[in-house]
Amino acid sequence: MNALSPSPAKDRAAKAAPAPPLALLAELTHRCPLQCPYCSNPVELERSGAELDTATWKRVLTEAAELGILQVHFSGGEPTVRKDLAELIRHAAKLGCYTNLITSGVLLDAARLKELYDAGLDHVQLSFQDTDIESAERIGNFAGAQARKLEVARLIREADLPLTVNAVVHRHNLGRLEEMIQLALDLGAERLEVAHVQYYGWALKNRAALLPTREQLDRATEVVTAARERLKGRLMIDYVVPDYYAKRPKSCMGGWGRQFLNVSPAGKVLPCHAAESITGLEFDRVQDHPLGEIWRNSAAFQAYRGTDWMPETCRTCDRREIDWGGCRCQAFALTGKADAVDPACGLSPFHDEIFALAEREAGAAPPPFVYRRIGGA
């Protein structure tokens, strides 16, 4: 069956055309000089030879704008390894899209940043692995990364580009969260994203090494709450908690196939960056179908769009159109069924088991990292 042809069970969902997505995550490449053990890329990384060429990416961007997308987030891997990045940013800017670069920063210098700025770049999200140099470089497995990041942050602000600092937090760096907040202030960032690791893909391989204790999480939440109040009007702080300690699931990506789409380096169109972890779903490619057609009609997008797919526990819940059933990738990773109740929900029969697992793994000595590498561990 063609993936764009809904099965009879999906006919009703197909009749209601979805609203246009708000944003496109353009995953230009899986290549990256860092090897972070919590990377959101799939474990089976695409090699450079499989990446979409410049002309195809420009067509995708044009189709995204025609679909109604307002924001394009250029990501990877590390998107700056692509020599055509400025050309792609220029194309998106000419289409009227807001352009955001999500980067480790380690390959940027003043000349390259100016090229991207002149092309129409609107915003930069710069990742930091830690404030402690030794820890940061151990997490990313890249010597000299911290000094490069600090220099790039300075260049970004000198270019008068808005800056977001991305801080992925876990048991190895949560004790320095206050220092991370201060670093964002010192760098002149307008926004800080404090995101606890979400456990699928590479992070699932490293769960036992990364999971914080409940005490660490509670302390981090206290720190963020106090900082938000203290720094109101100076620094916006987004905070994403780890699902393993939650009582209710988050609205993952605003709901499956509702607000967001991702195009992978090889051209697969996904409802979220981790969707390929769900085996059994066939994802259409931009080489074979227009982006808008995939968004509206793809069986993979319709599979968990809306509420008809939900198990009874979710379908009768008064939060069904708030959290949209939570995370399908997490449900699959932890239960083997993508249509199961998200175990982050207290109503899931797996919730207590997952909570106990988190406490057990977080309370044990962390094993060595399994670093993100082409070809796997």
Binding residues: 32, 36, 39
Q: What is the largest CA-CA distance in the chain?
A: 56
91 phi, psi to nearest 5 deg:
-65, -45
Q: How many helices (H) and strands (E) does the chain have?
A: 15, 9
Q: Phi/psi at 121 (nearest 5 deg)? A: -65, 135
Question: Omega before 49 cis (within 30°)?
Answer: no
Radius of gyration for the chain, computed over Cα atoms and rounded to the nearest angstrom: 20
Separation CA 13–CA 27 (nearest Å): 28
Which residue, among 121, 128, 32, 17, has the nearest Cα to 72 in the 3D structure? 121
Phi-psi region of 256 (alpha: psi -120 to 50; beta: other; left: phi over 0): beta
Strand order in the sheet with 71-75: 236-240, 191-196, 163-169, 123-128, 98-103, 71-75, 23-27, 260-263, 269-270
Tokens of 266: 């090889």
Binding-site entries for [4Fe-4S] cluster: 32, 36, 39
